[in-house]
């Protein structure tokens, strides 16, 4: 009877899934064009866009869906890169082992640090995530066996079931695109599942979620671990692209850059994070050729984006105020 | 009264030098509407928070449905059937009315973690949600954003969010606060329809609501129970008239 009444809200997935498909199609088309033109630089750049977008996407899930503004997300990316490096030193470089290992390592790190950070809220949460990321940074810096401060070259590029799929620029770009697609569609879908509903409710009104009987802490910790794991997968690909891993992957600048990407794309839009990542990298490349002061240009773009869509930023700040 | 749905035993709470709850002992019988009244600052909301689990008492016990829940947190108590309606309506504003109730329905299922289905399309959850909305007369508002509801409608929504969980006790913190005369009358009517099915602990300033609904009334003065009894007995009590009703009833 009434339950059959159709509401607009019954199709909450249509728009974000359509946006996701558009973003992915555009990236796929760009990769194909670059490949057809034989432009290796563009291929490698697009792979970097897809990899960075995956990292930004996982942070966007944390910020936009769980309301957890992490200022240390680059540490999780870096952990994935270091798993690729260290496992490679021990002869493990097949993705069937490497990917679960990287995911599990970063998810575990996130679960442990998150369990502590989630006891706080707002600015304190931000500072704690930053502190834990700095810890990870200095731990890796002290591992002289794996390059220490200078970093270290990867033993070899990863394989999939023995096939060297990451060997060519095209292979790497397609692998990055596949990871991004899986993460994007997965995260978008998750927003509308039961878990996603609870997570969003807890973000907006924690006392309500608690009073309704949800242990908000567990839901948020799970999101934190999941996002960390996905960021680590991006880190594995990043290490493979650069064939080099150093602590600078975990630098707090990188964490800040990821936040910029998320805010630029609209904090609550998952496909937006992909666009934000692309825009930041394009600005970095375009202005970086011209001037050392390319960050000034990036700054102006951020200011413009924030002023034009103040809602996204105020939503972000609104969460930290609590 | 061992069969009471809720029993407070010597509950005590201080914030520094401020003694807000003094040895409160109170029982809510099954099926009973138990009103808690008292002047401003009597510690009513603090007491509700201790019952709901968002505040820990310094000493004393909270026994809910025969189980000592003193050391359980708010989510655990909610899962055991304690539904709280806040003094300031507490719903998820950006969600639709229906989504708010579906969310609440989820809390009583063990499957909130699992399932890849779209929650809002789940026929079982929707049916439960619409049934609860129907009971409070909010079915027409189901597709609207919760933020767009009137004050009284938000109260009704919160009640629906409680009802969908088939609670064993409603904790109502001043449900009439801020509502207009007409809304207040309708809400009282709504609560009357729920009476007998779900026991309620009702904190209320509006005396007409209290005396229309309550089976028993407890008066809280300075954090301590001054008297508990039938509405007529309480109304006639001299202490109560002096401490509380005096101002309103003297006219």
pLDDT band at residue B227, thresholds of 50, 70 and 90?
Answer: confident
Parent domain of B250: 1-81+169-251
pLDDT tier for residue A141 given thresholds of 50, 70 and 90: very high
Q: Is the pLDDT of residue A190 over 60?
A: yes
What is the structure's pLDDT at A44?
Answer: 94
Last residue of a domain, one of B166, B198, B214: B166
Does A201 touch chain B if contact means CB atoms closer than 8 Å?
yes
In contact, A27 and A35? CB cutoff 8 Å: no
pLDDT of residue B190: 87
Burial label, A173 (beta-carbon count in 10 A; 0-12, 13-18, 19+):
buried
Q: Scanning every residue of chain A, which has its alpha carbon at the shortest distance from the alpha carbon of B166?
A: A212
Structure tokens at B195: 């009476």
* Over residues B202-230, mean pLDDT: 88
User: Does the pLDDT of residue A277 top 80, yes or no?
Assistant: yes
- The answer to whether residue B67 is domain-embedded is yes
Query: Do B117 and B213 fall within a single domain?
Result: no
Quote the mean pLDDT of chain B.
Answer: 87
Predicted confidence (pLDDT) at residue A133 exceeds the cutoff of 80? yes
Whether B131 and B237 map to the same domain: the answer is no
- Calculate mean pLDDT across residues A252-263: 92
**Predicted complex ipTM:** 0.85
Answer whether B126 sits within 8 Å of A215, measured CB to CB.
no
Q: Which of B145, B166, B187 is the last residue of a domain?
A: B166
Burial of A161 (0-12, 13-18, 19+ CB in 10 A): exposed
Nearest to B95 among A195, A201, A214 (CB): A201
Mutate which of A14, A119, A191, A208 to disrupt the B interface (most B C-beta within 10 Å)? A208
> Of B84, B46, B157, B49, which is closest to residue A211 (Cα–Cα)?
B84
Residues B11, B77, single domain; the answer is: yes
Lowest mean pLDDT among A142-156, A158-172, A304-318, B192-206: A304-318
A37-321 adopts what CATH topology? ABC transporter involved in vitamin B12 uptake, BtuC (1.10.3470)
What was the pLDDT predicted at A315? 52
Q: Kindly state whether A213 is in contact with chain B, defined as any CB-CB distance less than 8 angstroms.
A: yes
The pLDDT score that the predictor gives to residue A286 is 83
Domain match, B150 and B212 both: no
Task: Pick the residue from chain B with its C-alpha nearest to A223.
Answer: B113
For position A147, what pLDDT does the model report? 87
Question: Helix axis angle, A40-60 relative to A73-89, nearest 10°?
Answer: 120
H helices, E strands: number in chain B: 10, 10
pLDDT tens-digit readout, A94-122: 999 999 999 999 999 999 999 999 999 88
- For the cut 80, the answer to whether the pLDDT of residue A295 exceeds it is no
Residues B178 and B120 in one domain: no
Average pLDDT over residues B61-68: 94
pLDDT at residue B246 tops 60: no
Distance of CA A98 to the CA centre of its chain: 18
Q: Is the pLDDT of residue B111 over 70?
A: no
Q: CB within 8 A of A231, min separation 6: which ones?
A: A54, A55, A58, A59, A73, A76, A77, A80, A106
Which of A58-72, A183-197, A215-229, B219-233 is predicted with the least confidence, judged by mean pLDDT? Answer: B219-233
Distances in Å between the alpha carbon of B181 and those of A303, B175, B192, B227?
Answer: 49, 13, 16, 29
Report the pLDDT value the prediction gives residue B28, as an integer from 0 to 100.
94
Write down the pLDDT at residue A3. Answer: 42
Whole-prediction pTM value?
0.88
Domain match, B162 and B189 both: no
Last residue of a domain, one of B122, B144, B166: B166
User: Does residue A320 surpass a pLDDT of 70?
Assistant: no
Helix H or strand E segment including B194: helix B181-194
Percent residues over pLDDT 70 in chain A:
91
Q: Starting at the edge strand that comes first in sequence, how are the strands of the sheet with B59-64 ordered?
A: B18-28, B6-15, B59-64, B67-68
DSSP classification of residue B35 = E
The whole-number pLDDT of residue A172 equals: 95
> Among A70-74, B6-10, B197-201, B205-209, where is mean pLDDT lowest?
B205-209
Taking CA atoms, B7 is separated from B2, B62, B70, B78, B169, in Å, by 8, 6, 11, 16, 12
Q: A23 pLDDT band (50/70/90 cuts)?
A: very high
Please identify among residues 220-249 of chain A the ones whose CB lies closer than 8 Å to any CB of chain B: 222
Out of A177-191, B110-124, B182-196, the most confident range is A177-191
Per-residue confidence band for A188, with pLDDT thresholds at 50, 70 and 90: very high
Q: Are B43 and B160 in the same domain?
A: no
Query: Does any CB of chain B come closer than 8 Å to the CB of residue A217?
Result: no
Q: What is the pLDDT of residues B213-223, one digit of tens each?
A: 999 999 888 88
Q: Where are the domains of chain A?
A: 37-321
What are the structure tokens assigned to B13, written together?
């709470």
Kindly state whether residues B173 and B158 are assigned to the same domain.
no
Q: What is the mean pLDDT of residues B161-171?
A: 92
The residues, ordered by sequence, that sit 6+ positions from B194 with a Cβ below 8 Å of its Cβ are B135, B159, B163, B170, B200
B25-37 confidence digits (pLDDT tens): 999 999 899 999 8
Both B130 and B34 in one domain: the answer is no
3-state class (DSSP) for residue A21: helix
Tokens of B16: 């520094």
Asked if A7 and B113 come within 8 Å (Cβ–Cβ), the reply is: no
Residue B248 has what pLDDT? 47
Check A197 against B99: CB less than 8 A apart. yes
> How much is the average pLDDT of B76-96?
89
Q: How many CB pairs under 8 A join A and B?
A: 109
Is residue A261's pLDDT more than 90?
yes
Number of domains in chain B: 2
Residue B86 lies in a domain: no
DSSP readout, B178-190?
A: T--HHHHHHHHHH
B179/B242 same-domain check: yes
Strand partners, A160: A163
Q: Which burial class, exposed, middle or buried, applies to B215 when counting CB atoms under 10 A from its CB (0-12, 13-18, 19+)? A: middle
Lowest mean pLDDT among A254-258, B4-8, B189-193: B189-193
What pLDDT is stored for residue B243 in this prediction?
Answer: 65
CATH number at residue B249: 3.40.50.300
């Amino acid at each position: 009877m009434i339950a059959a009444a159709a509401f607009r809200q019954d199709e909450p997935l249509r728009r974000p899934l359509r946006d996701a498909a558009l973003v992915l199609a555009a990236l796929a088309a760009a990769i194909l064009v670059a490949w057809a033109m034989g432009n290796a630089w563009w291929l490698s750049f697009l792979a970097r866009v897809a990899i960075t977008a995956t990292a930004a996407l996982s942070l966007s899930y944390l910020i936009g869906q769980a309301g957890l503004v992490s200022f240390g997300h680059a540490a999780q990316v870096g952990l994935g890169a270091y798993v690729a490096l260290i496992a490679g030193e021990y002869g493990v470089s097949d993705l069937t082992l490497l990917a679960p290992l990287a995911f599990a390592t970063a998810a575990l790190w996130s679960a442990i640090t998150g369990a502590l950070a989630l006891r706080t809220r707002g600015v304190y949460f931000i500072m704690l995530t930053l502190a834990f990321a700095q810890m990870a940074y200095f731990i890796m810096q002290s591992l002289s066996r794996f390059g220490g401060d200078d970093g270290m070259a990867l033993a070899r590029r990863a394989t999939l079931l023995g096939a060297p799929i990451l060997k060519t620029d095209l292979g790497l770009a397609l692998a990055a695109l596949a990871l991004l697609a899986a993460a994007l569609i997965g995260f978008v879908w998750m927003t509308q599942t039961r878990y996603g509903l609870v997570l969003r409710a807890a973000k907006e009104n924690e006392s309500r979620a608690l009073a309704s009987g949800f242990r908000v802490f567990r839901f948020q910790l799970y999101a934190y671990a999941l996002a960390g794991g996905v960021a680590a997968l991006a880190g594995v690909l990043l290490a493979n692209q650069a064939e080099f891993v150093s602590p600078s992957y975990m630098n707090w600048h990188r964490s800040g850059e990821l936040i910029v990407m998320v805010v630029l794309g609209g904090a609550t839009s998952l496909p937006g994070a992909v666009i934000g990542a692309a825009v930041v990298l394009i600005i970095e490349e375009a202005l970086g050729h011209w001037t050392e002061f390319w960050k000034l240009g990036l700054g102006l773009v951020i200011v413009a984006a924030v002023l034009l869509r103040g809602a996204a930023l105020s939503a972000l700040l609104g969460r930290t105020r609590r | 009264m061992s069969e009471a749905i809720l029993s407070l035993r010597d509950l005590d709470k201080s914030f520094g030098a401020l003694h807000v709850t003094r040895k409160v002992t109170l029982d809510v019988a099954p099926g009973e509407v138990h009103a808690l009244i008292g002047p401003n600052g009597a510690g009513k909301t603090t007491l509700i928070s201790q019952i709901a689990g968002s505040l820990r008492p310094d000493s004393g016990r909270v026994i809910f449905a025969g189980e000592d829940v003193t050391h359980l947190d708010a989510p655990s108590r909610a899962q055991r059937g304690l539904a709280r309606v806040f003094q300031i309506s507490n719903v998820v504003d950006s969600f639709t009315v229906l989504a708010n109730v579906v969310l609440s329905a989820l809390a009583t299922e063990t499957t909130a973690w699992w399932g890849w289905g779209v929650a809002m399309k789940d026929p079982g959850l929707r049916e439960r949600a619409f049934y609860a909305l129907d009971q409070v007369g909010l079915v027409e508002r189901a597709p609207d954003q919760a933020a767009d509801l009137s004050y009284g409608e938000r109260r009704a929504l919160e009640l629906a969010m409680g009802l969908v969980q088939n609670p064993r006790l409603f904790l109502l913190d001043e449900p009439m606060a801020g509502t207009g005369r007409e809304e207040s009358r309708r809400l009282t009517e709504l609560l009357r329809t729920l009476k007998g099915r779900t026991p309620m602990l009702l904190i209320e300033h509006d005396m007409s609501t209290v005396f229309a609904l309550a089976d028993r009334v407890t008066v809280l003065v300075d954090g301590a129970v001054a008297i508990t009894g039938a509405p007529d007995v309480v109304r006639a009590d001299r202490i109560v008239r002096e401490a509380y009703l005096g101002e309103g009833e003297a006219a």
